[in-house]
A and B are shown apart, each in its own frame.
Chain A
Amino acid sequence: MTDTKCARTSLTLGPVLFNWAPEVWRDFYFRMADEAPVDSFVIGEVVCSKRAPFLAEHVPAVVERLQAAGRQVVLASPILVTLERERDAVRDLVATADDILADGFLIEANDIGCLAQLAGRPHWIGPFVNTYNEASLAWMAGRGAVSVSLPGELSAGAIAVLAAAAAPLGVDLEVQVFGRLPLAISARCYHARAHNLHKDNCRFVCGVDVDGLDVTTVDGEAFLAINGTQTLSSSYVALVAEVGDMQAMGVNRLRLSPHSCDMVAVTKLFRAIADGVIEATEARSRLARISHGIAFSNGFYHDREGVMDTLR
């Protein structure tokens, strides 16, 4: 790491993508508030609007607990917004942020419709908005974006260009370094489909798969995971040895995506990685133990197939 990049790298915990039981979701954040060295928490249901009401009653308590612990709370907007009730939810979210903007509440826009409603005030851009190049980044910054989380399929070369462009704009740049990588979103619910159910009568079967439902090839090879309308990688992205390079480029936030494994341990490990106080090989083997030996990937960063793990 160079001297010019002395600013401390922040850790962001992305939203829980999976359909966790509301109390589990609440208790997860309570514990993270107490124990995890995370600077910013992006919270909210981003995948399925049918799940959102169950979390809603716990959101105020979670926000209060996180803020009391001195953490930044960012409210995430949904990825796919087509229904009237989904549009209403985004409008309500924007209005909520209006009320409490003074307290340091920001919204992370995960679709262009939400971004449209945030023009002229500080906001975050989530990884579900397509920020592929410096022109898009500059356009977003001009409308108030202060932090941009990049799409998962970008390579180190693209990240470097974007980081160089972000710094003079005063925009923080973030890359996901841990967890299953979101690959697609649909109007169709694959969890319901796998259970021979219709989306409207889904019985919330996604709730049993706390890290997503494994999808293998017909040969039995691990491939993908489904989470309602979302499709993710089976492998967990693990950018560990790459963190130093990213810091040198000017990436100043690392995003961890929550899983059912010990996320306090994961966040502590990435804090140590970002601080350069643990060696990469050791950090990676610890991460493998914490995440129960699941396959890692770092291919996108190295401009290869996303599934690839260059260290295997």
Chain B
Amino acid sequence: MASFELICPAGTLAALRVAVDAGADAVYVGFRDETNARNFPGLNFSRAELKQGVEYAHRQGRQLFVAINTYPAAGNPGPWHRAVDDAAVNGADAVIMADLGLLDYAARRHPGLRLHLSVQASAANPEAIGLYRQAFGVRRVVLPRVLTIADIARLTREVDVETEVFVFGGMCPMAEGRCSLSSYATGRSPNRNGVCSPASHVRYETRGTQLVSRLGNFTINTFAEDEPAGYPTLCKGRFHAYGATSYLFEEPSSLNAMHLLPDLKAAGVKALKIEGRQRGKAYIAEVVATCRRGLDLFDRNLPFDPAALDRVAEGGRDTTGAYGKAWR
């Protein structure tokens, strides 16, 4: 039996097919609205596409999860309730949620529906996870990226739900679902709108030989002529504090935990997740196939070079993030 389930992102039906073909055990998607945390223009699934996606995954013995992981707006729960109902009706294998009220709704209305706790709930200790288990019957928790491997191992031992952790892709240095940096600068937040540092608020300007990236009214980074310009995600910008300019919060880099597979297995982690529903299908194909190969080699005790993923890492750099204690 395989050591881990590989959970892969898809923002389109084409990406879903590619992910399934490349070896995803499950694909996670969102509806085309503010009910999910990758609410980007031109991305995500209609109800009909979800149905097709479920059929495609199930035909090959894979699963499909639906992320409904933003926080429903006060006075307007309709879109979130419909998302849960439609995920259930169309045969999703699990829904991934964060909001207490929405979890309550799903648990009452769809007692047979498998519930996963989104990373956006930032459940970082056994007491928190136990509550979601006891109150709503949550079966799996996606752990926030603030935990070390040792934390994850301890926590997985103590809870009676499966744990899923991020293995590759973009990473937040902040506890997910507890961050209003984006909305402070742009008025649009991950929790309410399903976007962080949205493209609608990004501008690039030239100043002499420099390229300047702006988010809302703030300069997030400046790049010399020969420096590759990155996307101005707020927490991966260069700022000035205590007399120095630096990547104060986090360097623009991707999480890559593929060389930690033995530790993650020993920790009892059930599933590994790839971030990136906003990514194109070529990227999805390469990352999923590479991670699949890595997991298969690991199961056969054969060597795998995690650097195989460097080509697709943000800024060509990767990090093990909070998994290593030194990150703190």
B241 & A189 in contact (Cβ 8 Å cutoff): no
Q: Could you tell me how many residues of chain B have their Cβ less than 8 Å away from some Cβ of chain A?
A: 68
B74 & A151 in contact (Cβ 8 Å cutoff): no
Task: Choose, from A95-103, A135-143, A277-285, A288-296, the stretch at the interface.
Answer: A135-143
User: Which listed residue (A132, A152, A221) contacts B99, Cβ 8 A?
Assistant: A132
A198 & B326 in contact (Cβ 8 Å cutoff): yes
Contacts of B121 in A (CB 8 A): 112
CA distance A260 to B104 in the complex (A): 42
A186 & B242 in contact (Cβ 8 Å cutoff): no
Q: A135-B101, A139-B104 are in contact. Are A189 and B328 (CB under 8 A)?
A: yes
B74 & A87 in contact (Cβ 8 Å cutoff): no
Contacts of B105 in A (CB 8 A): 135
CA distance A111 to B129 in the complex (A): 11
Q: What are 9 sample pairs from A and B whose C-beta atoms fall under 8 A apart?
A: A80-B124, A133-B71, A134-B77, A151-B180, A187-B175, A223-B239, A226-B248, A231-B181, A306-B184
Q: A112-B123, A113-B127, A198-B328 are in contact. Are A183 and B179 (CB under 8 A)?
A: yes
A132 & B328 in contact (Cβ 8 Å cutoff): no
Q: A82-B147, A90-B127, A130-B177 are in contact. Are A194 and B241 (CB under 8 A)?
A: yes
- Chain B 35-50 residues near chain A, CB threshold 8 A: none
Q: Which 4 A-B pairs have the closest CB atoms?
A: A135-B101, A113-B127, A116-B131, A132-B71
Binary B-proximity of A32-52 (CB < 8 A = 1, otherwise 0): 000000000000000000000
B100 & A136 in contact (Cβ 8 Å cutoff): yes
A193 & B248 in contact (Cβ 8 Å cutoff): yes
User: Which listed residue (A117, A132, A200, A217) contacts B74, Cβ 8 A?
Assistant: A132
Closest chain A CB from B155 CB (angstroms): 8
Binary B-proximity of A171-197 (CB < 8 A = 1, otherwise 0): 000000000010111111110011100
Q: A138-B101, A158-B75, A184-B175 are in contact. Are A113 and B180 (CB under 8 A)?
A: no
Contacts of B74 in A (CB 8 A): 132-134, 154, 157-159, 161-162
A307 & B123 in contact (Cβ 8 Å cutoff): no
Given A133-B75, A218-B239, 19 extra CB contacts under 8 A: A112-B127, A113-B123, A115-B131, A135-B104, A139-B100, A157-B75, A158-B74, A183-B179, A183-B181, A187-B147, A187-B328, A194-B241, A194-B242, A216-B240, A218-B219, A218-B245, A223-B239, A231-B181, A307-B217
Q: A80-B146, A183-B184 are in contact. Are A188 and B327 (CB under 8 A)?
A: yes
User: Which listed residue (A152, A187, A215, A300) contacts B240, Cβ 8 A?
Assistant: A215
- Chain A 107-126 residues near chain B, CB threshold 8 A: 111-117
Q: Does B189 contact A (CB under 8 A)?
A: yes
Q: A153-B183, A153-B192 are in contact. Are A133 and B327 (CB under 8 A)?
A: no
A233 & B184 in contact (Cβ 8 Å cutoff): yes
CA distance A154 to B245 in the complex (A): 32
A190 & B248 in contact (Cβ 8 Å cutoff): yes
CA distance A59 to B147 in the complex (A): 30
Looking at chain A's contact residues, is the secondary structure mostly helix, strand, loop, or mixed?
mixed
Q: Does A220 contact B (CB under 8 A)?
A: yes
B328 & A303 in contact (Cβ 8 Å cutoff): no
Q: Which of A135, A198, A200 has the most CB atoms of chain B within a 10 A radius of its CB?
A: A135
CA distance A186 to B322 in the complex (A): 10
Contacts of A151 in B (CB 8 A): 180, 191
B241 & A215 in contact (Cβ 8 Å cutoff): yes
Q: Does A3 contact B (CB under 8 A)?
A: no
B185 & A219 in contact (Cβ 8 Å cutoff): no
Q: Does A23 contact B (CB under 8 A)?
A: no
- Nearest B residue (CB) for A302: B187
B187 & A304 in contact (Cβ 8 Å cutoff): yes
User: Which listed residue (A139, A153, A181, A200) contacts B328, Cβ 8 A?
Assistant: A200
CA distance A263 to B305 in the complex (A): 57
User: Which listed residue (B77, B241, B322) contacts A213, Cβ 8 A?
Assistant: B241
A307 & B180 in contact (Cβ 8 Å cutoff): no
- Nearest B residue (CB) for A235: B184
Contacts of B173 in A (CB 8 A): 186, 188
- Nearest B residue (CB) for A114: B127
Contacts of B181 in A (CB 8 A): 183-184, 224, 231
